Chain A
Amino acid sequence: EPEVTQTPSHQVTQMGQEVILRCVPISNHLYFYWYRQILGQKVEFLVSFYNNEISEKSEIFDDQFSVERPDGSNFTLKIRSTKLEDSAMYFCASNTQGEQTQYFGPGTRLLVL
């Protein structure tokens, strides 16, 4: 069964550095999402993406964040200048036209020191 994949599984970075988290959604899916989960807390919506543009973003998704679909398979989340409070698990998800069920990737655990 096809699955959403994410790389890297773990990323450690220094505060102020840029990080790019990568996701490969399921191949026939058209809608893409990023969520984050701070340790021990709930999953929080960051951004949704469709037709090469952002559909919706939350209050968390400020100017430090950006998303891109650089080619036909990858979907990336960039954090321009990381802060300590960006430490979290970041999940990518995707779904297809007419389907509301979202399928999650395994996540990238980001640690900002």
Chain B
Amino acid sequence: GENVEQHPSTLSVQEGDSAVIKCTYSDSASNYFPWYKQELGKRPQLIIDIRSNVGEKKDQRIAVTLNKTAKHFSLHITETQPEDSAVYFCAASKTRNNDMRFGAGTRLTVKP
């Protein structure tokens, strides 16, 4: 089955700096890669996603890149703000089953 690895497990940055979180996946049939932000005790909230026919996608301060050959994808947050502090999860799924496999999460702390 699909295995998603995520790094780093914790990340601390100064406000205004950029943050990068990286994930790798094992199943070449995976074609959908969402990123979720989870605040303490809350539900995972989708922040951005990318499909395998696209190499990069951007939404304001958030961007995601995908390298299908290497089977890795990354989340980039620019101009970080304290409210970006949360746990971020990457995930991967295939059209056929659509069950998502999550990475272990990255706890991002943005220091004011």
**Which residues of A are in contact with B by a Cβ distance under 8 Å?**
31, 33, 35, 41-45, 48, 55-56, 58, 91, 95, 100-107
In the complex, whether B102 has a CB less than 8 A from a CB of chain A is yes
Which range holds the interface residue count of chain B? 20 to 34
Contact, CB under 8 Å: A42 / B105: yes
Closest CB in chain B relative to A92 CB, distance in Å: 10
11 pairs, A vs B, C-beta closer than 8 Å? A33-B99, A33-B100, A42-B103, A42-B105, A45-B100, A48-B97, A48-B98, A56-B99, A101-B46, A101-B49, A102-B98
> When chains A and B are docked, how far (Å) is the Cα of A35 from the Cα of B32?
18
In the complex, whether B68 has a CB less than 8 A from a CB of chain A is no
Closest CB in chain A relative to B93 CB, distance in Å: 6
Closest CB in chain A relative to B42 CB, distance in Å: 7
Contact, CB under 8 Å: B89 / A106: no
Question: Which residues B86-105 have CB closer than 8 A to chain A?
Answer: 89, 91, 93, 95, 97-105
